[in-house]
Structure 1
């Protein structure tokens, strides 16, 4: 019998319906071996060449979008996955496919934990979008469940696989010396927060896209955070009746002494020339690296269309002789490495610890979850105090004793009130 990996996709919106669904379509038709050289895992190509990948189900909140996604997959591959819909469609999938290998989670940010834990309880591996979850405590629950079942929880941190970032990690960071400070930014279009997503009041720009950059900095230096401060602004979305942050700025200080500012918004005007504005820079003791991920030198303009730019590294179509198009790029690479780890566990009998160096793990994602969790608390307090004319004085401290919110405005309640422990374990 041909070795098979059964996959189900939960969430087929902007990212699930584009990147995940297209990536699984290529796997359905051609397997994984052709993708492995891109991520340096081609030594596994012969072993994994016979493996069949089968998308058995796709699920969304609405029946219409689920059927649309299943039909699109059928058009690309000649295979139509079963469509599910509802508030918790993963429960039906896990019931109907007891031999499911992977649940891919591309639901809204605040709805990751429930399907992840449901999958792990059944011994099903997980590929999840970032952030893995929004709570430090939930990240521990996920890690514990994964360990108990020897399951992979691979987090889609695709910024790691951008070829420019790999050059920084493997070469440039060594040239510029010890890191001093830096800035990372990702600014999303206004339509994301006003029409594409209906859940923005349950998240914020840093929680949504900041994890890309916090994870990237972690992948460069493997240095843990020691403190942070955060502020946010509400001016543009309020005009549309949306009570969500327009922008959030978070400064994180790390054990190795560097300080990085993370700037995120989702109010960039629609006529901006690129899909998003993004980039980062790091100043070291002996140099500096700048990396603009929005404008990479590829630009065009035409009458009625204005000036446009495109990121051809993230995903791109490659024409095949049969008229179909291959789908490659660093946006796919992060999914590929997680599936390699799943295959090694299932077919080679390896432990999750033995394959941890192949993919962005839940343990690594825990650091980003802690930053998102603490930043949200600090941001809200500073927003409140700024509106009261008290300044943005709240910070978070990370240490062996856990995470502590330091709020000098509570000194009137007594010195002990200034320090609020929100988490009691070391990162």
Structure 2
């Protein structure tokens, strides 16, 4: 009887639904789930050090059951592309909150993958958790520390996983830094990290940039990586931003944001982000980081890794062949590999262990970026947005950039000395009362 029950559980597919099919959801998520549906997860596990699970997880089947998007056109396009790749057409849903109808229509859903705009992550995450559905979400998990704690609390109540796609953890260069180089360079002193997106992202691809900013959008890649390296919490930050380029296109959004975070272990890291890089730049994005320690330094350039080409009419170009790449199969199709896939594989593998093998979320918490990990980045994002806006205001008033934030056991406090000059109260304004 037990064998029959086990066979039934294993033969039932892990049902996945994807909400958001834009630049990342419609490409990396959809193509990853297409390979899972066609060939399973076994072939990917060794890439992330989980080859010991191969025999357990190899028999599992996967199904992208549904796709949801804001517009019907986007949903139909994504479903058609998935059908062309796999022969399977997912259900489609569309509207302002399409995840609600989707969750009602698929009551036995295992995973909701959330790739909506930054400010629309929390609603589908909470809706899924309320129904006992595991979640994989794009970064940032959310934009508010209050929302982060609501997500974490509900996930614990429902014994569900909320996994966050932090793919920079899985870059081979970053793995080398974490497991080897950081121990060679001694105690970290200071560093910098930058990720500069093309102008088309903010000016045309995304319609929601006024609800976000370049640091909130891509800064979490780096804040999470620094957390992953050192597991040291932030203790203070300052932030500034500029509005010059996008205003010319009547877009009231920050061109660039710079944030300095000081950590409990004494290191200070500068994060620089923009989304106005000209289209004729040689790479898809400009990105890299460096860390100086007491006994050395590590530099990692993720934009130019030594691969460059040029051709008539195409200019000089670089390519990141490590993020995702197509590997030709004998049948003419292509396998989809890279550290962008590895991140999602780790999230799916952890959920499979909980959903089909009775592991607890705590049993697998070390193998993927958890909601608790994402809480650190969310706290930095939340505080940085407040500090940035105040400093932007004061700078334009000729008062400099005096505002900072402090993280401690008493919560997150915004320190605004300008208010004292104005004779106002709340120079120290606590925006969050629980410890980070």
TM-score interval w.r.t. the shorter chain? over 0.9
Unaligned runs of 5+ in 2: 1-7
> 5 Å matches for 1:181-330?
181-330=190-339
CA distance in 2, matches of 1:203, 1:346: 34
Structure 1 residue 89 and structure 2 residue 98: aligned? Answer: yes
| Contact 1:3 1:50 (8 Å CA) reproduced | no
Structure 1 residue matching 2:361: 3-state secondary structure = coil
Structure 1 residue 371 and structure 2 residue 342: aligned? Answer: no
RMSD (Å), alpha carbons? 0.8
Unaligned runs of 5+ in 1: none
Structure 1 residue matching 2:195: 3-state secondary structure = strand
CA distance in 1, matches of 2:191, 2:421: 36
CA distance in 2, matches of 1:339, 1:76: 20
Structure 1 residue matching 2:271: 3-state secondary structure = strand
- Following superposition, the deviation at residue 354 of structure 1 comes to 1.3
Structure 1 residue 40 and structure 2 residue 49: aligned? Answer: yes
CA distance in 2, matches of 1:149, 1:349: 14
Structure 1 residue 333 and structure 2 residue 342: aligned? Answer: yes
1:176 to 158, 170, 185: 185
Aligned to 2:161: 152
TM-score normalized with structure 2 length: 0.97
Structure 1 residue 27 and structure 2 residue 40: aligned? Answer: no
1:423 to 413, 432, 435: 432
Structure 1 residue matching 2:363: 3-state secondary structure = coil
- Following superposition, the deviation at residue 414 of structure 1 comes to 5.2
CA distance in 2, matches of 1:246, 1:347: 46
Structure 2 residue matching 1:295: 3-state secondary structure = coil
How many positions carry a matched residue from both structures?
Answer: 427
CA distance in 2, matches of 1:340, 1:270: 37
2:21 to 12, 20, 30: 12
CA distance in 2, matches of 1:237, 1:83: 34
- Following superposition, the deviation at residue 126 of structure 1 comes to 0.1
CA distance in 1, matches of 2:158, 2:423: 46
CA distance in 2, matches of 1:164, 1:153: 26
Structure 1 residue 122 and structure 2 residue 131: aligned? Answer: yes
Structure 1 residue 349 and structure 2 residue 358: aligned? Answer: yes
CA distance in 1, matches of 2:309, 2:423: 61
CA distance in 2, matches of 1:372, 1:101: 29
CA distance in 2, matches of 1:135, 1:306: 42
- Following superposition, the deviation at residue 303 of structure 1 comes to 0.4
- Following superposition, the deviation at residue 371 of structure 1 comes to 0.3
CA distance in 2, matches of 1:220, 1:3: 38
CA distance in 1, matches of 2:96, 2:334: 33
- Following superposition, the deviation at residue 413 of structure 1 comes to 5.4
Deviation digits for residues 305-352 of structure 1, max 9, x if unmatched? Answer: 000000000000000000000001000111111111111111111111
Structure 1 residue 161 and structure 2 residue 155: aligned? Answer: no
- Following superposition, the deviation at residue 412 of structure 1 comes to 3.6
2:149 to 140, 143, 146: 140
CA distance in 1, matches of 2:420, 2:27: 50
